[in-house]
């Protein structure tokens, strides 16, 4: 029986409006009422992931930054995995050599050199998801994050490592040239200490090898004394693959990449049609 469920956010739990549907909320509440632990597993930083979840009133643990940070239901950090100086500089050198734009995620915030390029990323992600992004709304959201201080605009990334206590958790790179994306993925994957994945066509998410959703899910299951055979993972993209490979029940969204559907126990409905809720009810044997 499923006792632990991990769900991705973008393209999975969240719809195109970046909201959690009421059906998904009620399904998670039902699972929790049955004693099942439901975990959010996302490439987002906690300060980005918490907003849409907080609006629902749900209390859940978080696997953030693809596993680079894990928080409990009280938001306390229980695990971190960061990139050391050598790994970070190798990533920077590779991306700079390819003239590829990237953001740097730390435990203090997200650094960008150009918010307009961030806008282009969001619009392209929406396009590849079959959706039309609202440029003005996205621009307002970016400015809101800048005002809050979670998105930090800098001239360059040279001084990030000099900030006391700041840890580099993830680097998110982007380019419209998909051949370049594959070439850079291959280069970075040659390092046995890096985990290289994607959350959307056209981007690369780079973390320490220990920072993977599947490893974080395994650690939570071990802490709770739950066998991995009694876990379920739901996702849509490559950064979800490690947890689908380890979970007892692997669920791919209808809008997921074929590579995830190939390893899935079953395929649920799309993120626009509350596919997470349908997967939860199916796994727990409840008729909708």
Enzyme catalytic residues: 8
Rg, Å, the chain Cα set:
18
Q: How many CA atoms lie within 13 A of 149 on its CB side?
A: 2
Number of Cβ within a 10 Å radius of residue 219: 16
> 10 near 266, Cβ under 8 Å?
no
Task: Look at residues 112, 189, 182 and name the one whose alpha carbon lies nearest to residue 145.
Answer: 112
Rounded CA-CA distance 281/23 in Å is 11
Pairing of strands 37-41, 4-7: parallel
The DSSP-derived string for 223-245 is: HHT--GGGEEEEESSGGGHHHHH
At 243, list the tokens.
Answer: 């947890």
């Amino acid at each position: 029986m499923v006792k632990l469920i991990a769900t991705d956010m973008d393209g999975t739990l969240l719809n195109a409006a970046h909201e959690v549907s009421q059906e998904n909320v009620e399904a998670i509440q039902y699972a929790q009422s049955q004693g099942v632990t439901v975990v959010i597993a996302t490439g987002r930083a906690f300060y980005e992931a918490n907003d849409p979840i907080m609006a629902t009133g749900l209390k859940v643990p978080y696997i953030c930054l693809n596993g680079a940070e894990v928080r409990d239901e009280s938001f306390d950090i229980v695990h971190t995995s960061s990139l050391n100086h050598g790994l970070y500089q190798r990533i920077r050198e590779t991306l700079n050599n390819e003239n590829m734009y990237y953001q740097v995620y730390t435990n203090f915030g997200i650094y960008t050199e150009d918010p307009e390029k961030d806008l282009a990323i969001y619009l392209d992600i929406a396009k590849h998801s079959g959706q039309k992004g609202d440029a003005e709304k996205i621009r307002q959201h970016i400015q809101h994050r800048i005002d809050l201080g979670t998105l930090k605009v800098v001239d360059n990334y040279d001084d990030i490592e000099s900030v006391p206590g700041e840890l580099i958790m993830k680097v998110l790179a982007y380019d419209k040239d998909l051949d370049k994306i594959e070439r850079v993925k291959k280069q970075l994957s040659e390092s046995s200490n890096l985990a290289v994945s994607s959350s959307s066509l056209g981007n690369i998410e780079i973390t320490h090898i220990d920072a993977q959703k599947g490893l974080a899910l395994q650690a939570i299951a071990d802490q709770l004394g739950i066998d991995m055979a009694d876990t379920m993972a739901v996702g849509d993209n490559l950064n979800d693959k490690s947890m689908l490979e380890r979970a007892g029940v692997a669920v791919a969204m209808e809008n997921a990449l074929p590579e995830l559907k190939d390893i899935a126990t079953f395929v649920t409905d799309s993120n626009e049609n509350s596919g997470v809720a349908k997967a939860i009810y199916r796994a727990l044997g409840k008729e909708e």
